[in-house]
Structure 1
Amino acid sequence: MSYFTEENSEAAVINRLGDDVDPRFRQIMESAVKHLHGFVKEVEPTMDEWFQAIQFLTATGKMCDDKRQEWILASDTLGVSMLVDAINHRRPDGATENTVLGPFHVSGAPVRALGENICLDGKGAPCVVSGTVTDENGAPIAGAKVDVWQTNDEGFYDVQQPGVQPDMNMRGLFTTDESGHYHYTTVKPLPYSIPTDGPVGELLVAMGRHAMRPAHIHYIVSAPGYETLVTHIFPKGDPYLDSDAVFGVKESLIVDFVDEGGSTSARFDVKLKKVG
């Protein structure tokens, strides 16, 4: 029997894993323990500093409910969400790139007809977004589901302003036609701050970072036989493209929003990767 010491701390914990533990779970826990203990040995936190870390974890959990996920926000702002996403969505050249889901997706978005307006509060400059969903070779995909959502013109998602915004404001689920085409009406997106009223906001301040996201529209595009795509589109020229608080920008997702005189238009074509 080997008792716990500073020198053998990793081994002491890992050796407690049972013999019948799932192999993948064992791999994950062994690595987690090694990295966590290595981190502690590298920075040598004081007892007060470690208690501050515990308080951060506790406060982050307390901020989570069915409308807000502070842990996703923490993962996003530390770049972990984008790294996990990149590892799990390595796509061939030509297929549309993924980016982070974000903490404000809501299932059950209202089914809308092509061209319908997702802006229910009447605020903001009108914008028409259109495009075609195809496979990697450019063959159109009819019946693809295009789930879109964004903030309103004041920079808030509907779930952040219950009772202020209409339910399901700035959300819609569209289906591509026989030629794989989709289009909908919305408002031109604007940059906004991620929530800073919780522990993640305090962490960003401590790190000397801003909390701004470049303007964007969220997408989930799915079709039978194809990998589901989770992504954004970003207007070209946005001042926060190079410093997105959640590291979500990819060059291929930057899109021209064309001034149409009182309104704007944008085109975003999607190429899905076949499963297998």
Structure 2
Amino acid sequence: MPQFNDTELTAAVVKSFEETPDPRVKFLMEELVKALHGFVRKTDLSFDEWAYAIDFLTRVGQKCSASRQEFILLSDVLGVSMLVDAVNHREREGATETTVLGPFYVGEHKPMPHGTDISANLTGERMFVQSRVTDLKGKPLAGVAVDVWHADDDGYYDSQRPDYETAGPSSRARFITDADGRFFFRTILPCSYPIPTDGPVGQMILQTRRHPNRPAHIHFLVDAPGHEPLVTHVFIEGDKYLDSDVVFGVKNDLVSRVEKRTDQVMPDGKSAEAPWHLMTYEFRMKPGQGAAPKPMMAATEDA
């Protein structure tokens, strides 16, 4: 039986993947082992610390459900999600910037007519969102599916609500761009909100004296044929957490100036409750291919 010191052990584990048939899998496993072993060696990790890490990861997995993805949350708050995003989108060539998908892309995004109020059953300051999808030269892209979702006035997504199964989706929908690449809808003004702090990830954030808040934003997933799928947010200018987003997801290109309006008519010609807010944003799509993420199936925590 071979005897290994701490350096020889790493080499032996790396060598154990020699016969892996897929070269990419082989490379990933080898580099993962090197990184993990390097962390243990550099930190002189104790038995108690490693046991705590195993327990923490176990609790992260146990907190996951059909409507909650605690591992995505962990990836987000450690900046891993944004780093993966960054290395996969180094060259944007004038296209709209990407950001994290987040753990709340769940449930059903029903196609809805332009102008639909996707938050009709919610309290909050009313907002009109008008947008356009184009290629890099400004040519409108018609027939493009755009999924939108955001938190309510209390900072909760619909899937976090205990009555989700009976109440159904809210502040989430799919729109299809018209011949001029446009889509528009009504909703409420999003607010900044804390990530869930009732699980191990939230506890870690609080224990390390980080704040748990995200700046106000709306999620968009734009899936245009012949173009790379775009996963992004549009943030609201002036939010106090823009410079300290707990998941590091803010980019300057994604911050929108939202106007407060007192007009009695919204841009689609229909009456408005004054005052209201207007968000305007244009999405520029990069040519390419790729599969857009699919929503997780949503269910209540007890389901």
TM-score, normalised by the number of residues in structure 1: 0.96
Partner of 2:93: 93
The answer to whether structure 1 residue 176 and structure 2 residue 177 are counterparts is yes
Partner of 2:281: 268
Distance in 2, Cα, partners of 1:15 & 1:133: 49
Distance in 2, Cα, partners of 1:163 & 1:107: 14
Equivalent residue letter for 1:193: P
Distance in 2, Cα, partners of 1:18 & 1:91: 34
Partner of 1:159: 159
Equivalent residue letter for 1:79: G
Partner of 1:241: 242
Deviation at 1:2, TM superposition (A): 4.3
Range with greater deviation from structure 2 (20-29 or 64-73): 20-29
Partner of 1:113: 113
Distance in 2, Cα, partners of 1:48 & 1:21: 36
TM-score, normalised by the number of residues in structure 2: 0.88
Range with greater deviation from structure 2 (101-110 or 185-194): 101-110
Partner of 1:102: 102
Per-residue CA deviation, residues 115-156 of structure 1 (Å, 9 max, x unaligned), is 101104231111000111000000000111111000111110
Deviation at 1:22, TM superposition (A): 1.4
Is the 1:10–1:37 contact (alpha carbons within 8 Å) kept by the matching residues of 2?
A: yes
Partner of 1:196: 197
SS in 2 for 1:8: helix
SS in 1 for 2:147: strand
SS in 2 for 1:274: coil
User: Percent of aligned pairs with the same residue?
Assistant: 46
Partner of 1:38: 38
SS in 1 for 2:6: coil
Range with greater deviation from structure 2 (142-151 or 159-168): 159-168
Distance in 1, Cα, partners of 2:58 & 2:39: 20
Per-residue CA deviation, residues 156-196 of structure 1 (Å, 9 max, x unaligned), is 00110031683111001001100111101011110000001
Partner of 1:71: 71
Deviation at 1:88, TM superposition (A): 1.3
Partner of 1:131: 131
CA RMSD, aligned part only?
1.4
Distance in 2, Cα, partners of 1:250 & 1:210: 19
Distance in 2, Cα, partners of 1:101 & 1:20: 31
Per-residue CA deviation, residues 190-242 of structure 1 (Å, 9 max, x unaligned), is 00000011110111122220000000000000111111100000110000000
Distance in 2, Cα, partners of 1:93 & 1:17: 38
Per-residue CA deviation, residues 1-31 of structure 1 (Å, 9 max, x unaligned), is 7433223121121122252431111100110
Unmatched 5+ stretches in structure 1: none
Deviation at 1:90, TM superposition (A): 2.7
Deviation at 1:82, TM superposition (A): 0.3
Equivalent residue letter for 1:240: Y
Is the 1:132–1:180 contact (alpha carbons within 8 Å) kept by the matching residues of 2?
A: yes
SS in 1 for 2:220: strand
Equivalent residue letter for 2:68: R
Partner of 2:271: none
Distance in 2, Cα, partners of 1:20 & 1:45: 29
| Count of aligned positions | 276
Are residues 55 and 20 of structure 1, via their aligned partners in 2, closer, same or farther at CA, if it must alter by over 3 Å?
Answer: closer
